[in-house]
A and B are shown apart, each in its own frame.
Chain A
């Protein structure tokens, strides 16, 4: 992980002091609601349905076990004993007291954590593949570049009052999009030129929410020393010309669309020409310093997999978990393990204080003390030796994190919806639970194969419903909760926005509708064909006929 210098730590402490003073002035009536709103948002604090919600930053999803233990104690001392992994890889608290928030930030700062720019119209947490650095398919580790961007974005004085929030993701896998760069304000695809030098293909103008869109390639090849200058050029164009009159038209995607990618590129290139070669050019030394924070842990070379193979032969449940919840690793003898936070009956992504402590212990014992968060609201132990998988599985199973459903129909991504969120049109959590209960036969769930179900309680799309193979969106019709279904979204390769099916459904109808969609798939699929491919082959009509027929 990135190792803090004195100055990184000092910055956090000064931030806490600043926010403490702002909160004091607000509580003393010296700052208006509106003024404090902007300041608190840039410190992660929303005011929600029941209480403030605090969004804690997890830069590119990386946590160490000390930080996880701190999250556990904060969750216990300042909240109701659980928190939530969000689709932006951040951690959210649902019931902190406003007056406590400076203390929470001080506690976080003691373990090099914070809530800087997790909300508000500024550059948000930088995200990447949850298997970054260990994914055998990536061309290099994207995390150092995420960290380079994080430092440039943190308290960047020019971009703290953008027209709208701004999200940047980095991807290093050539033929897949695990970081969802296609639906980010800026997506950075790492590429190599013919000499093997690193460069970036830079996308801009993707995003979900209202008017979902995928981005356009703006910079075809940006040499690595120019990365920040290029990003700054794009941000400057957006800051100057983004729409500020209508919050629903304020995202960069609307600007790119309105100007056209060519015109946008022209403006960005003009700004870039001024910055290129200047003081913000990255140096080899600095990149090397940051890369040195992401070197491989001390991998063992004596991993003996005989026992693993025996266990795989003998334990059907272990075998299933192994093939579903663990992933190939760049290092022989290792695998990445995903802890699914999706047990039926539990809010997707929720985790309790005690479970956090258990996860921290497991990370210490099995995974070099590191934990990651994922945009599917799960957690990852990225480096587990294969001869320890069986042990680990038994412990995860006891904790409820070994539900072998990663990437399957019951690994549902859902925003908190009407149960917690003041903006919701409808509930999401009971819908997720209904689907999980309907598909409770693991054999059947496995037979269905990969299937992303995403649920959002409103247009803001926190549950990423647009990129679910099956997307479910809460809509309000004359004060009643309804659900709009979309099919065919995907966030895996080139991202694509799902297609609306037709009139929406009442809550009690949703699981039945999902059942019908699945039956159309089963009736039409070719051998081993995943849902999304069947959908792309046969189109919407057969699904509509059965569902509305």
Chain B
């Protein structure tokens, strides 16, 4: 089974992410944790909530957490897809999930997720990373800690450095 980084550790990926193309072809399996697209979630919310296994929702760029705000309490996981690592919208979405909506579940970065982006992703609120399949996940783990210093606050500690220093 594929691996994923969750809370700084490499673990088995227990979630199956289904794309809208896949969901056009097949139904959501009865068993196992699944991640579905936002549109699918909005259309099948009640049925999905009746499943025994957990359900998460994946946001694409352009689909903001606002679209999901009312449902967040029912969700253990929100994934944010990066179709290309250069598209930085997901950074604002993760921050919004954490600070605007106080979402405490797993926020998972999926798609074109690479070592050199992990540190920033973690600071805006992602705590899980599906590193791109062709990359060494052990090596990618190093990407979580290139810096011991940060000027600005982040979702973990909102205080900028000078407030942290004087505390």
Chain A: residues with CB nearer than 8 A to chain B? Answer: 7-8, 10-11, 14-15, 17-18, 22, 31, 35, 38-39, 121, 151-152, 154-163, 236, 239-240, 244, 274, 278-280, 283, 285-286, 289
Q: A158-B88, A158-B91 are in contact. List 19 more A-B contacts (CB 8 A).
A: A10-B149, A11-B149, A15-B147, A31-B116, A121-B88, A151-B151, A152-B151, A152-B160, A157-B123, A160-B91, A160-B120, A161-B87, A239-B89, A240-B64, A240-B92, A244-B61, A244-B87, A283-B163, A286-B162
How distant is A277 from chain B, measured CB to nearest CB, in Å?
12
Q: Does B133 make an interface contact (CB < 8 A)?
A: no
Tell me the minimal C-beta distance from B127 to chain A in angstroms: 14
B49 at interface (Cβ–Cβ under 8 A)? Answer: no
With A18-B146, A35-B116, A162-B88 known to touch, is A289 a contact of B162 (CB < 8 Å)?
yes
Write out the residue numbers on chain A whose beta carbons fall within 8 Å of the beta carbon of B158.
Answer: 278-280
> Which single residue of chain A is at the shortest CB-CB distance from B114?
A35
Give the shortest distance, in Å, between B84 (CB) and chain A (any CB).
9
**A residues near B77, Cβ cutoff 8 Å:** none
A215–B6 CA distance with the chains assembled, in angstroms: 43
Chain A residues lying within 8 Å of B154, measured Cβ to Cβ, are 157
Residues of B within 8 A of A285 (CB): 162, 166
How far apart sit A502 and B95, CA to CA, in the bound complex (Å)?
50
Question: Which residues on B sit within 8 Å (CB–CB) of A163?
Answer: 88
Contacting residues, chain B, for A38 (C-beta < 8 A): 85-86
Q: Is residue B150 contacting chain A, with contact meaning CB distance below 8 A?
A: yes
- How far is A306 from B149 in the complex, measured between Cα atoms in Å? 53
Contacts of B162 in A (CB 8 A): 283, 285-286, 289
Shortest Cβ distance from B94 into chain A, in angstroms? 9
**Does B53 sit within 8 A of A, measured CB to CB?**
no
Name the one of B61, B151, B165 contacting A154, with C-beta atoms under 8 angstroms.
B151
A122's nearest neighbour on chain B, judged by CB, is: B88
In the complex, what residue of chain A is closest to B123 when comparing beta carbons?
A157
Contact partner, B152, options A156, A162, A244, Cβ 8 Å: A156
B148 within 8 A of A: yes
Query: What B residues does A11 contact at CB under 8 A?
Result: 147, 149, 151
Chain B residues with Cβ under 8 A from A279's Cβ?
Answer: 153, 158-160, 163
Can you name the residue of chain A whose Cβ is closest to the Cβ of B93? A240
Closest Cβ–Cβ distance, residue B14 to chain A (whole Å): 27
- Least distance between B164 CB and chain A CB atoms (Å): 10
Nearest B residue to A279, CB-CB: B158
Interface core residue of A22, A158, A159, A285 (most chain B CB under 10 Å): A158
Contact of B124 among A35, A39, A157 (CB under 8 A): A157
User: Residues of B contacting A236 with CB < 8 Å?
Assistant: 92
Task: Report the nearest A residue to B90, measured CB to CB.
Answer: A161
Q: What are 16 A-B interface contacts by the 8 Å CB criterion?
A: A18-B146, A22-B116, A38-B85, A38-B86, A155-B152, A156-B151, A157-B91, A157-B119, A157-B123, A157-B152, A158-B95, A158-B124, A160-B91, A160-B120, A161-B117, A244-B61
Whether B45 sits at the interface, judged by CB under 8 Å, is: no
B161 within 8 Å of A (CB atoms): yes
* Separation of A45 and B83 alpha carbons in the complex (Å): 25
B100 within 8 A of A: yes
A152 touches B100 (CB 8 A): no
- Enumerate the 9 nearest inter-chain pairs by beta-carbon distance, A residue then B residue, closest first: A161-B88, A279-B158, A157-B120, A157-B123, A18-B146, A151-B151, A11-B149, A286-B162, A7-B149
* A158 with B92: CB separation less than 8 A: yes
| Contact (Cβ within 8 A) B91 A239 | yes
Give min CB distance, A15 to chain B, whole Å: 8
Query: Shortest CB–CB separation between residue B11 and chain A, in angstroms?
Result: 24
| Nearest-neighbor residue (CB-CB) of B99 within chain A | A274
Question: CA of A289 to CA of B153 in the docked complex: distance in angstroms?
Answer: 18
Q: Are B152 and A240 in contact (CB under 8 A)?
A: no
Determine the chain A residues whose CB is within 8 A of the CB of B92 once the complex forms: 158, 236, 239-240
Residues of A within 8 A of B99 (CB): 274
Is B160 in contact with A280, judged by CB distance below 8 angstroms?
Answer: yes
Q: How far is the CB of B103 from chain A (nearest CB, A)?
A: 15
Query: Smallest CB–CB gap between A248 and chain B, Å?
Result: 16
**Contact B151 A14, beta carbon cutoff 8 Å:** no
Q: Tell me the complex Cα distance, A159–B123, Å.
A: 12
Residues of B within 8 A of A162 (CB): 88
Q: Which residues of A lie under 8 Å from residue B87 when comparing CB positions?
A: 161, 244
**A152 vs B95: C-alpha distance when bound (angstroms):** 16
By beta carbon, the residue of chain B nearest A242 is B89
The answer to whether B148 touches A10 (Cβ under 8 A) is yes
